[in-house]
Amino acid sequence: MRPTQHNRILLFTRYPEAGRCKTRLIPVLGAGGAAALHRKMTQRMIGQVTRLAAIQPHLLEIHHDGGTQTQMRSWLGVDHHYHKQGEGDIGCRMQTAILRHLGRRQRLLLIGSDCPGLSAEIMQEAFTALTSHDLVLGPAYDGGYYLIGLGAEISAPTCHSLFQDIPWSTDGVYTTTKKRAEEQRLRCHTLTRLHDIDTPADLRYLDHHPYPQ
């Protein structure tokens, strides 16, 4: 069996249409500026995932909101697997993306595009941790998480418990998810805490992270 069949990264992002992404940044960046920043952050994240491939083989799936398959391929290239995000809140959409891979004995990472500190090395740490843990969480300073990783033995009911009735878009996402993991007696590895870029106050954390032009 090829090594890439054991590892998979699901990247959640949005097509960079002005006025439809990073809307909380529009008051300071404008609709076009917010979309441009989102575009660069997504491209940077794909760069980190590509760099990871040299040390940790994997398959990349890009799950997008907005945009067509043609638009996504024109933006990010034809070498990736693209899927439209499902219906419902972010928890339902993430669960849908993950459930299609359960039972294949794969290690899965689900990440977003708006955490500039998420590096290839941190993703490698997550994959390595999943050889001896059931779950990996990367907590964000805003109370959410920038990465969730699931081991090969996670069942569908356990997966369901991690994504249903979570207070999404609040500062209780990470703590509630961690509590669910403890209730399910999952062995959980916690990564370093990082900053997401969601609000004008978060923009100061961009200073030390290079972006593609």
Range(s) of the domain holding residue 36? 20-206
Whole-prediction pTM? 0.93
Domain count, the chain: 1
137 touches 145 (CB < 8 A): yes
User: What is the C-alpha separation between 156 and 30, in angstroms, rounded?
Assistant: 41
User: What is the C-alpha separation between 196 and 206, in angstroms, rounded?
Assistant: 10
Tell me if 192 is assigned to some domain: yes
Residue 44 pLDDT > 50: yes
Tell me if 1 is assigned to some domain: no
Q: pLDDT tens, 48-106?
A: 999 999 999 999 999 999 999 999 999 999 999 999 999 999 999 999 999 999 888 89
Identify the burial level of 197 via C-beta atoms within 10 angstroms of its C-beta, where 0-12 means exposed, 13-18 middle and 19 or more buried.
Answer: buried
From first CA to last CA, the distance across the chain in angstroms is 38
User: What is the C-alpha separation between 193 and 172, in angstroms, rounded?
Assistant: 15
Tell me if 71 is assigned to some domain: yes
